[in-house]
Amino acid sequence: MDRAAKADLVATLNEVFKSTGVVVVAHYAGLTVADMQKLRREMKQVGATVKVAKNRLAKIALEGTDVASIGSLLRGPTLLAYSSDPVAAPKVAVEFAKANDKFVILGGAMGATALNTDGVKALASLPSLDELRGKLVGLIQAPATKIAQVVNAPAAKVARVFGAYAKRDEAA
């Protein structure tokens, strides 16, 4: 890789680190190409990205960003998984680590907050942004449904009472 390509890579990584919601750092030594492709595909499905970069270049790109705390994790064969949704990349990484012993999560960062392995797992257990939006819409719609049921209930009860009187009169 020539000097210009390295400068481009550092600039690209720096922009990613400045704009991303969460970064997960993991060791991937021993994973097959098929495993890596599966990981990349799963990350892409949730809007996350996996990047393997030289640690030295990644450390240079970290300078001046909120996620600079992950610099100490960049030792050995590491990969960076990042996403704008703070839950997407950790969730896929934790699930992938459960299935593959050779994929080891080292930690990460969410904004200026450094995360250890347990922090990444805690993030992965949270519902995603889309799930939270769905729950919020459900909570907003629930009161309207309840009000409609309450308003319609007295009318239905009155109709049942009249129906009962009508059946009683017919029987008599």
Buried residues in 134-168 as b, exposed as e (16+ CB within 10 A): eeeeeeeeeeeeeeeeeeeeeeeeeeeeeeeeeee
Closest CA to 50 of 86, 26, 14: 26
Look at residue 66 in the predicted model and tell me its pLDDT. 84
Mean pLDDT, contiguous 10-residue spans, the chain (172 residues): 87 88 90 93 92 90 86 90 89 92 91 86 82 78 68 69 76 68
| Domain covering 3-126, topology | Alpha-Beta Plaits (3.30.70)
What lies within 8 Å, CB to CB, of 116 at 6+ separation is 107
CB 130 within 8 A of CB 47: no
Look at residue 151 in the predicted model and tell me its pLDDT. 65
Three-state DSSP state, 110: strand
> What is the residue extent of each domain of the chain?
3-126, 127-172
CB 127 within 8 A of CB 135: yes
Query: 0.85 cut: is pTM over it?
Result: no
* Cα torsion angle, 83, 85, 88, 91, sign: positive
Look at residue 155 in the predicted model and tell me its pLDDT. 67
